Amino acid sequence: MNIAIVCYPTFGGSGVVATELGLALSKRGHHIHFITYNLPVRLEALKDPNIHFHEVNVPDYPLFKYQPYELALSSRLVDVVKANKIDVLHVHYAIPHAYAAYMAKKILLDSGIQIPIVTTLHGTDITLVGSHPFYKPAVTFSINHSDRVTAVSESLKQDTLRLFDIKKNINVIPNFIDTEKIKLKGKPCERSLLAEKEEKILTHISNFRPLKRIMDVISIFEGVQLKIKSKLMMVGEGPEKKRAIQYVNEKGLEEQVLFLGNSNEIDKILCYSDLFLLPSEKESFGLSALEAMAHGVPIISSDAGGIPEVNKHGKTGYLSKIGDTESMTLNALSLLQNESLHESFKKQAEQQAEKFNLESVVNQYESIYADAIETV
């Protein structure tokens, strides 16, 4: 198939899922056309003849206070579909991608081209931004006019049905991970540069938006390090980072809390992590938790959104109510202070991650595409 994928190219869940999906599909012989405003992060080092990248350019015009990205994207979609005989358009994150795809579909219809749209809902496009009254009618419309709609968790599907007037069936296709690739990488991993032998390593990876509750991450770590010699790896960039650094400095924790920025070395960082912290306020799935589990890292998390579908309480980690950092700290300590319990959680985390293996998820997307093409 010739498949066009529209996504955000940045570090962040939806872009990572879209890129990894495209890469997996290309290995199965499909031609994948990424359409976005920058080369997606995980594509950077790649030279695969089945992968194509089409940049969306928005010329700066001084008359406009807001430059019309949707318009540029719709036009680019029309051109790419025509020039590459695209069979299906898969858009990740409803805003504004599903909307732009609908416009492209209508424009293409004028030239006699019928193109099916598959929309994947990722999280904040529904639970935060999309349900805002300023966007809601357009988001509802674009979901209802997609040919197929998928959501990354049952929780996100239920949120979508609760927040919008949806007439379409929503298929749940969970996020995924290539566990085989991980097995080949990493181990044994070199942790001596970052921590002493007896030190424990806790890790958090996100885009540091307020909903990630970064200060809860620090608070859990503060509690842990009072009892156990440990370090905290903070991976990512975002609006809450400055506040977190300020707090860490005020508390004199700067030797123990390392802010590593965005990283392409996630596998290495997770390889030497003992625990992963994810106390988010909203999380449709928690791809970063799944990545950690695939590396055998147990999760201390909140019970927000779809996290309980990934992190199994008392097995792969622990769940606590959002904001209950005291319980999260106790849970972290109970694992780090009990070596055999920690070992069993590590194994169980790895086993649970296997359930989200790439192959079966890619099969599901392939059949959604085939179905959408057949019925358009």
Output 78 or 368, the one with its CB closest to ligand GMT: 368
Distance CA 240, CA 218 (A): 12
The minimum distance between CB 93 and ligand GMT, in angstroms, equals 6
Distance CA 173, CA 234 (A): 29
What are 165-171's contacts with CB under 8 Å, separation 24+?
A: 165/140, 166/140, 168/143, 168/144, 170/121, 171/364, 171/368
Q: Which of 3, 6, 12, 117 binds ligand GMT (CB under 6 A)?
A: 12
Q: Quick one: which segment of 45-53, 191-199, 276-284, 325-333 binds ligand GMT (CB under 6 A)? A: 276-284
Is 287 among the residues that bind ligand GMT (CB under 6 A)?
yes
Distance CA 282, CA 306 (A): 9
Residues between 198 and 227 with contacts to ligand GMT, criterion CB under 6 A: 206-207, 211
β-sheet with 148-151: strand ranges across: 51-55, 31-36, 2-6, 88-92, 117-121, 148-151, 170-172
Report how far apart the first and last C-alpha atoms of the chain are (Å, whole number).
15
The minimum distance between CB 271 and ligand GMT, in angstroms, equals 21
Residue with tokens 């931004």: 129
Residue count at the site for ligand GMT (CB under 6 A)? 19
Residue with tokens 């070992």: 343
Q: Which of 3, 4, 14, 348 binds ligand GMT (CB under 6 A)?
A: 14
Contact letters for ligand GMT, residues 303-332 (x by CB under 6 A): ------------------------------
Output 206 or 256, the one with its CB closest to ligand GMT: 206
173-202 exposure pattern, b = at least 16 Cβ within 10 A, e = fewer: bbbbbbbeebeeebeeeebeeebeeeebbb
Q: Quick one: which segment of 10-18, 176-184, 227-235, 352-360 binds ligand GMT (CB under 6 A)? A: 10-18
CA distances to 203, 233, 289 from 285, in Å: 18, 22, 9
Q: Which of 40, 96, 116, 123 binds ligand GMT (CB under 6 A)?
A: 123
Q: Which of 175, 256, 329, 348 binds ligand GMT (CB under 6 A)?
A: 175
The minimum distance between CB 46 and ligand GMT, in angstroms, equals 20
Output 186 or 238, the one with its CB closest to ligand GMT: 238
The minimum distance between CB 318 and ligand GMT, in angstroms, equals 18
Q: Which of 80, 118, 149, 152 binds ligand GMT (CB under 6 A)?
A: 152
Output 50 or 263, the one with its CB closest to ligand GMT: 263
Is 276 among the residues that bind ligand GMT (CB under 6 A)?
no
Output 182 or 287, the one with its CB closest to ligand GMT: 287
Q: Which of 36, 142, 284, 311 binds ligand GMT (CB under 6 A)?
A: 284
Q: Which of 34, 93, 272, 356 binds ligand GMT (CB under 6 A)?
A: 93
97-123 exposure pattern, b = at least 16 Cβ within 10 A, e = fewer: bbbbbbbbbebbeeeeeebbbbbbbbb
Query: SS3 of 245, please?
Result: helix
What one-character-per-residue DSSP string does 310-349 give? HS-BTTTEEEE-TT-HHHHHHHHHHHHT-HHHHHHHHHHH
Output 31 or 204, the one with its CB closest to ligand GMT: 204
Residues between 17 and 76 with contacts to ligand GMT, criterion CB under 6 A: 17
Task: Please check whether residue 236 is in contact with residue 259, taking contact to mean a CB–CB distance below 8 angstroms.
Answer: no
Is 122 among the residues that bind ligand GMT (CB under 6 A)?
yes
The minimum distance between CB 145 and ligand GMT, in angstroms, equals 21
CA distances to 42, 43, 176, 363 from 21, in Å: 11, 11, 9, 11
- Bridge partners for 237 per DSSP: none
Q: From 128, 119, 121, select the one nearest 156 (Cα to Cα).
A: 121
Residues at the contact surface with ligand GMT, assessed by CB under 6 A: 12-14, 17, 93, 122-124, 152, 175, 206-207, 211, 282-287
